[in-house]
Amino acid sequence: MQTVTREQLINKAVALLADGTVKCVLGWKKGEFDYDVTPAVFETEEEIRADFVWNDFCGANFSKYLVAKTRQFDGKILVFLKPCDTYSFNQLLTEHRFDRDKVYAVGIPCAGMADISKIKEICGDGISSIEADGDYLSVTTIYDDQPIKVEIKEVLAERCLNCKSKKHVAYDELLGEEGDVIDSNRFDEVAQLEAMTPDERFAFWQKELSRCIRCNACRDVCPACTCEKCVFDNPNSGVENKSPANSFEEKMFHIIRAFHVAGRCTDCGECSRVCPQHIPLHLLNRKFIKDINEFYGEYQAGAQEGSRAPVVDYTTEDLEPGEVFDRRDTNA
Amino acid sequence: MRKCSLDSLNAIFTRINQFAKLYLPVNGNDGKAAYTEWQEGLEWSNALNTTKSPKDFFFPQTEDLMAFRTSGKNIEIIDTRKESEDFVVFGVRACDVKSFEVLDNVFLKEPYDSYYANRREHGIIISVACTRPADTCFCKTFGIDPAKPQGDISVWKTANELYWQSNTDRGAALLDKIADLTEECGTEAVEEQQQQINKIMAKLPLANLTTDGWGAGKTQELFDHPKWAELSEACLGCGTCTFVCPTCQCYDIKDFNSGKGVIRFRCWDSCMYSDFTKMSAGQPRLTQKERFRQRFMHKLVYYPENNNGMFSCVGCGRCLAKCPISMNIAKVMKTIGGKDND
Amino acid sequence: MTNIQEALIPKIGVITDIRIDTPDIKTFRVVTPDGVKPFDHRPGQCAMLSMPGIGEAMFSITSSPTNTEYMEFSIKKCGCVTDWLHQAEVGQQITVRGPYGNPFPVDDAFAGKNLLFVAGGVGLAPLRSVINYCRHYRERYGTIDIVYGSRSKDDLLDYQEIIQEWANDEGVNVHLTIDREQEGWDGHVGFVPNFVKELGFSTDKTAILCGPPIMIKFTLDGLYSLGFEKTQIYTTLEMRMKCGIGKCGRCNVGSKYICKDGPVFRFDELDELPDEY
């Protein structure tokens, strides 16, 4: 269960609005159901009290919104950041993508976010309400007389099961208790892929990526994808396409994107969360993170504002290309 | 009406597959249902619906329109169209069947689209009633009855049996081909299921969603509605809603140079994309607000204006389930529509 | 029944002449490989031109329908397709399909009327077919006034045709203007909207406007102040298009598709559409 309450967040937001510290609040807005929360900008106490939510479905990472919203608004923006969001926040600051002075960041602890599709696998479609009840969710459906109790840890999103950190790496103010960096198992699945033969691995990705519908949701939600104009939207790039013309292009889009965010991806997992086709896109990025860790020493993008990623920071100790090539053989 | 036991379904699929390709919802490696070409061993998914709509069967995400060969200053145009073969799509839900009518109004209107028409003429639709509609369903809002799905053949699935009813000559001809695997039966079981479905429909969270305040002639009233800015505020500008939507039909035409020649293909496009209307001379829809507004105004005002009041939404709920920021047509209809939606 | 074979699959066209009109506008003459006009059209209609591998784009047909030998397109260099066309040579084949859209009502609403054409820059291109159609059937119309302006003398499209042919026609008055003073220019200097007001046209005319949005806006204000009604002013709109047949979904303004319900509109009709063009 979440350790800070909705009321605490609302009171903080209302107070900061009232004393003029911030002009507006970036928060989660109540949806049609209990799980379809929408990112929103709140400008009045009334709006906040009516529609602001904080529950187990507030997965959206607001850091990227700051790029546009800090340009749009004159005063400061209050943003609530979960631990993993703070890594994206720092990474965007490192890349000078928004003005830090225009943001008031409040760190909030996160107990992990639930994945509604996992809940639906257990409870079926037809959910009419979901209420938090300690370590459980009480799910009422139109088909069952009694609410179904689901243990939250059973339905956590993949990225939360493999949470890398409960520690906030950036904030102006922290609500609740600070957590620690976690020794997670997030690279286990990557290791499984590495253990495959190249043919098996190719078949794995072929199968996954063939479902891609090129909706661009992964790119558009990605806090590392903040180019003003993406190469895939540029008609003069020669690779601009709305839809893959063949299976090569299908893979190319995701592989190019993974290369482009390598060393900058904080592993926030938004890409996999939003993919309508459930493609485990985070595995591509994690492979890069794992490689960078192994080649150049542990590096977590966003952990420290202003840090230089090993891939853009030459040192004489750097691995020789030949060693990378040799390693490929031992892996295969 | 005819019926068969669920155990004989495999034999029926095998029979159908002898004269036409058969597609049906099958769970993929992601555990989600997708229309898949049937082969021995594949099982009809229990899922309410597929992640992607069946519009692909008639309006695929990409399709070649023609090819060109160029040499020096000369161009040769190669017509690459082929006559479709008959195919059967089994397990289509009532909402998706209705979506074909929405697409027909665009593609079969003069000048009709022979690529689409070709597939439409060869596709036989077997629909299935929805016994367990989801919280995201609102087909009733658009006058669709999930207890009486349309298509060439309607099917009702009970605990142990499958009931078949043909609605068209094509459907009747198909039922004839599997007559020895089914038996004539009464309609009682189906009627009972239909009543059951109607009861469930009344309990759905979106049961009372109406189209009040929307429809033909509402452009002036709704275009400058103050809520568009707020509704579109968090929109990522991705194409998820448009690509999972069974009725979105915008497309782009592009050239692909294969090195051996040029293929001109069309592919799904999205009004949510910033370059959708971008010209060298300017951009009529400058921000995401205008693009977002276009999508909903098209479905709920412009399309009805051009199609005798018919809406371009079938309430399948895919956009409700898939939008990365959970913004969708139901929220838009409630926020901007009539008072009854409050 | 027209099917998409005619609608999306183009014909081959051959560029038989390229005229350099201005530093950034060329006029291309196009016929089929058999040497005939690709298809008939009405004044104000458009055609899709393409080079396979480069792209396809919509252009207004600038030659008059009364020209039965070939089609002409005056094209400004401003994007992928136009850049390519500008480097093309005579003899080059392209693809062409059309005609698309509704024409100007030259045989009904315009018949017997005094006509006032107002154009800016490459905006003369779509009006040229109308002007030449009306000159061809001179007896069907009253007076014809043409106000045309561009950045400089060198940027005036069809300049030779205007001064040698149009200006010499009886009952046709040509009023040219350029934005700034220029050596060798003794004509009017100033922006088109102001020039229209200075000329002070009487309201017995039907006005046809085409040019950059800013020119349209201020010319309209000028015409209204002179007493013109919206019902006597026409224009032609430009939107991004892919299919040309009202299906690909991108050129709509409200429920109207510019490729098939337009591009020609009367200003009172535009009032009923949302302001998104």
What is the b/e burial string over B306-328, where b = at least 16 CB atoms within 10 angstroms of the residue's CB? bbeebbbbbbbbbbbbbbbbbbb
Q: Do B189 and B241 fall within a single domain?
A: no
* Average pLDDT score, chain A: 91
Identify whether residues B231 and B180 lie together within a single domain: no
**CA C55 to mean position of chain CA atoms:** 22
Å between B165 CA and nearest CA of chain C: 34
Same domain for B164 and B117: yes
For residue A52 the two structure tokens come to 């602001």
pLDDT in tens, A115-172: 999 999 999 989 999 999 999 999 999 999 899 999 999 999 999 999 999 999 999 9
| Cα separation, C108 vs C43, whole angstroms | 13
Q: Which of C4, C76, C214 to mutate to test the interface with B (most CBs of B within 10 A)?
A: C4
Return the bridge partners of C120, or none. C149
Decide if A278 and B32 are in contact by the 8 Å CB cutoff.
yes
Residues B266 and B301 in one domain: yes
**pLDDT class for B342, splitting at 50, 70, 90?**
very low
Domains annotated on chain C, with CATH: 4-100 (2.40.30.10), 114-236 (3.40.50.80)
Q: Rg of chain C over CA atoms, in angstroms? A: 18
CB C263 within 8 A of CB C44: yes
The pLDDT > 90 percentage for chain B reads: 86
Mean pLDDT of A246-273: 88
Average pLDDT over residues A252-269: 93
Q: Is residue B214 one of the residues assigned to a domain?
A: no
Q: Residue type at C228?
A: F
* Option in B28, B132, B244 nearest A124 (CB): B132
CA dist C130 and C63 (Å) reads 9
Q: Are residues B176 and B118 located together in one domain of the fold?
A: yes
Backbone angles phi, psi at A298, to 5 degrees: -50, 130
Predicted confidence at residue A245, as pLDDT, reads 64
Find, among A273, A280, A72, the residue nearest to A192 by Cα: A280
Considering only CB atoms, A125 lies closest to which of B29, B135, B206, namely B135
Encoded tokens for A100: 């830090």
SS (H, E, C) chain C: CCEHHHHCCCEEEEEEEEEEEECCEEEEEEECCCCCCCCCCCCCCEEEEEECCCEEEEEECCCCCCCCCCEEEEEECCCHHHHHHHHCCCCCEEEEEEEECECCCCCCCCCCCEEEEEEEHHHHHHHHHHHHHHHHCHHHCCCEEEEEEECCHHHCCCHHHHHHCHHHCCCEEEEEEECCCCCCCCCEECCHHHHHHHHCCCCCEEEEEECCHHHHHHHHHHHHHCCCCHHHEEEECCCCCCCCCCCCCCCEECCEECCCCCEEEEHHHHHCCCCCC
pLDDT confidence band for A295 (50 / 70 / 90):
confident
Q: CB–CB of B233/A41 below 8 Å?
A: yes
Parent domain of B101: 2-203
Nearest CA among A128, A148, A151, A153 for reference residue A138: A148
Contacts of A24 in chain B (CB under 8 A): none
User: Alpha-carbon distance B142 to B145, whole Å?
Assistant: 9
Structure tokens at A233: 């939207």
Answer whether C235's CB lies under 8 Å from C209's CB: yes
Quote the CA–CA distance of C32 and C26 in Å, as a whole number: 20
**Residue B287 shares a structural domain with residue B321:** yes
Domain boundaries, chain A: 6-113+162-174, 117-151, 188-331
What's the average model confidence in pLDDT over B17-40?
94
Alpha carbons within 13 A on the beta-carbon side of C75: 30
Task: Yes or no: say if C47 and C23 are a contact pair by the CB < 8 Å rule.
Answer: no
> C213: how many CB neighbours lie within 10 A of its CB?
11
Mean pLDDT computed over every residue of chain B: 93
Residues 244-303 of B with CB under 8 A from C: 249-255, 257, 262, 264, 266, 269, 271, 276-282, 284-285, 290, 294, 297-298, 301-303
pLDDT at residue A241 tops 80: no
Instruction: Measure the CA–CA gap between B140 and A271, rounded to whole angstroms.
Output: 33
Contacts (Cβ under 8 Å, ≥6 apart) of B106: B249, C247
| End position of a domain, from candidates B203, B231, B247 | B203
Instruction: Give the B window 28-67 contacts with C, CB below 8 Å.
Output: 65-66
The pLDDT value recorded for residue A279 is 94
- Confidence band for A329, pLDDT divided at 50, 70 and 90: low
Claim to verify: residue B146 and residue B24 sit in the same structural domain? yes
pLDDT tens per residue across span B146-158: 999 999 999 999 9
Tell me how far apart the alpha carbons of residues B286 and B293 are, in angstroms, rounded to a whole number: 12
pLDDT digit string (tens) for B105-121? 999 998 889 899 999 99
Q: Are residues B62 and B86 in the same domain?
A: yes
Angle in degrees, CA C217, C218, C219, rounded to 5: 95
From start to end of B207-261, where are the E strands? Answer: 251-257
Average pLDDT over residues A64-70: 94
Strands, E, within A134-220: which ranges? 136-141, 148-151, 173-174
Nearest in space to A89 (alpha carbons), one of A58, A56, A54, A61 = A61
Q: Do B290 and C276 touch (CB under 8 A)?
A: yes
pLDDT of residue B81: 87
Over the stretch A11-64, which tens digit does the pLDDT of each residue have?
Answer: 999 999 999 999 999 999 999 999 999 999 999 999 999 999 999 999 999 999
Neighbours of chain A (3+ CB pairs under 8 A): B
Please say which residue of B203, B233, B264 terminates a domain: B203
* Chain B residues closer than 8 Å to A231 by CB: none
pLDDT at residue C2 in the model: 46
Q: Find all residues with CB under 8 Å of C102, minimum gap 6, and list them.
A: C44, C45, C260, C261, C262, C263, C264
Question: Looking at chain A, how many residues does it have?
Answer: 332
Categorize the per-residue pLDDT at A244 as very low, low, confident or very high, splitting at 50, 70 and 90: low
Nearest to C249 among B75, B249, B285 (CB): B249
Interchain proximity C52–B114, CB inside 8 Å: no
- Report whether pLDDT(B339) > 70: no
Whether B75 and C78 lie within 8 Å, measured CB to CB: no
Please say whether the dihedral angle defined by the alpha carbons of residues B29, A186, B322 and B120, taken in this order, is positive or negative.
negative
Are B170 and B250 in a shared domain?
A: no
H/E element holding A103? Answer: strand A103-107
pLDDT of residue C1: 40
B290 vs C contacts (CB less than 8 Å)? 276
In this structure, are B189 and B256 located in the same domain? Answer: no
DSSP string, A115-155: -HHHHHHHH-S-EEEEEEETTEEEEEESS-SSPEEEEGGGS
Nearest CA in chain B to A35: B326
Whether B232 and B270 map to the same domain: the answer is: yes
Q: Which of B203, B235, B269 is the last residue of a domain?
A: B203
C positions 64-123 inside 8 Å of B (CB): 78-79, 82, 89, 91-95
Query: Beta strands of B214-323 (E only): which ranges?
Result: 251-257, 262-268
By C-alpha distance, which of B314, B287, B278 is closest to B228? B287
Contact C208, C217 (CB under 8 A): no
* Token pair listed for A173: 């103010």
10-residue stretch averages of pLDDT, chain C, 277 residues long: 65 95 94 94 95 93 94 92 94 94 93 93 93 94 93 89 87 92 90 90 92 89 91 90 90 91 91 84
CB contact under 8 A, B110 and C247: no
Report the half-sphere exposure of B170 (CA within 13 A, side-chain side): 16
* Interface contact B310, partner C, CB < 8 A: no
Give me the number of domains chain B comprises. Answer: 2
Query: Are B227 and B180 found together in one domain?
Result: no
